């Protein structure tokens, strides 16, 4: 199957939209989904399982009607990480320089420690999102989540990208270090000094180099949010 950005995509009802991206499972090194943009205004991209598609003379065909395709899961940028296209998926003639990855990675250096652990959370039950800010116990913004480390289909740790632009590293934060999840922020039981002592990993896609402008802009916002929260708590205690 030839996969290129902008390729026409049809359903059993006829023309539907265009191909926007492809999604790869980094553990199995397999193409799993197509990201399809429906035609028309205010339409949200949909994740289409590869097994529901076929190649035709006119492009790509989804073996569902329009109504059922629109009921498929929406594609949100923070649900994935971007990386150069791996050679393992070239059997599909993927004509994308970069692809989207499911944010689950295996790090052999850490996997053996988790093999017999009961602390992991099954991937299907895990609801923390990539892009979430990670905050220390003393309200310091430490970085943002760029992936998750897994063993035996269970998530055991967060990969948190931290550091200055151009000098970032991915820190392995065990799930047991999480104290609270508030909207798109993850609060830790660790202060920034304890955070700096954690191990790092290099297996997460290098597609996001440095901290994004979104992350930097939210630094001030996050601090303001925590200051307000602490004031409210103080009033309630009094």
Give the model confidence (pLDDT) of 173-188 as tens digits. 999 999 999 878 999 9
Rounded distance, CA 83 to CA 3, Å? 17
Rounded distance, CA 17 to CA 8, Å? 6
CATH 2.30.30.240, the chain: domain bounds? 3-101, 104-222
- 41, exposed or middle or buried, with CB in 10 Å at 0-12, 13-18, 19+? exposed
Q: Is the pLDDT of residue 217 over 70?
A: no
The HSE-up count of residue 196 (CA atoms within 13 Å, CB side) is: 6
Closest CA to 35 of 86, 98, 90, 87: 98
Give the bridge partners for 151, in sequence order. 154
Q: Is the pLDDT of residue 167 over 60?
A: yes
For residue 211, what pLDDT is reported? Answer: 37
The tens digit of pLDDT for each residue in 74-105 reads: 988 778 888 888 777 667 788 888 889 888 88
Rounded distance, CA 43 to CA 22, Å? 18
CATH superfamily, domain at 3-101:
PRC-barrel domain (2.30.30.240)
In percent, the amount of the chain with pLDDT more than 90 equals 42
Rounded distance, CA 36 to CA 182, Å? 31
Rounded distance, CA 123 to CA 105, Å? 11
pLDDT class for 61, splitting at 50, 70, 90?
very high
Count, in order, helices (H) and strands (E) of the chain. 4, 19
User: What's the whole-model pTM score?
Assistant: 0.69
For residue 229, what pLDDT is reported? Answer: 56
Q: Which residue has the higher pLDDT, 201 or 27?
A: 201
pLDDT class for 219, splitting at 50, 70, 90?
very low
CATH superfamily, domain at 104-222:
PRC-barrel domain (2.30.30.240)
For residue 115, what pLDDT is reported? Answer: 57
């Amino acid at each position: 199957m030839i996969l290129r950005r902008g390729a026409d995509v049809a359903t059993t009802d006829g023309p539907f939209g265009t191909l926007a991206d492809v999604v790869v499972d980094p553990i199995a090194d397999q193409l799993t989904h197509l990201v399809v943009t429906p035609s028309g205004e205010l339409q949200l991209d949909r994740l289409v399982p590869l097994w529901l598609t076929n190649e035709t003379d006119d492009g790509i065909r989804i073996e569902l009607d329009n109504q059922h395709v629109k009921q498929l899961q929406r594609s949100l940028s923070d649900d994935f990480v971007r990386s150069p296209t791996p050679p393992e998926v070239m059997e599909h003639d993927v004509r994308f320089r970069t692809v989207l990855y499911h944010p689950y990675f295996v790090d052999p250096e850490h996997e053996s420690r988790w093999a017999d652990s009961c602390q992991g959370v099954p991937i299907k039950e895990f609801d923390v999102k990539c892009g979430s800010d990670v905050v220390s116990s003393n309200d310091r913004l430490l970085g943002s989540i760029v992936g998750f480390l897994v063993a035996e289909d269970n998530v055991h740790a967060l990969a948190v990208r931290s550091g200055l632009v151009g000098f970032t590293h991915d820190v392995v934060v065990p799930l047991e270090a999480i104290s609270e999840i508030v909207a798109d922020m993850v609060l830790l039981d660790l202060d920034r000094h304890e955070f700096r002592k954690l191990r790092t990993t290099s297996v997460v896609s290098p597609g996001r180099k440095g901290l994004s402008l979104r992350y930097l802009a939210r630094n001030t916002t996050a601090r303001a949010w925590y200051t307000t929260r602490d004031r409210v708590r103080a009033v309630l205690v009094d």
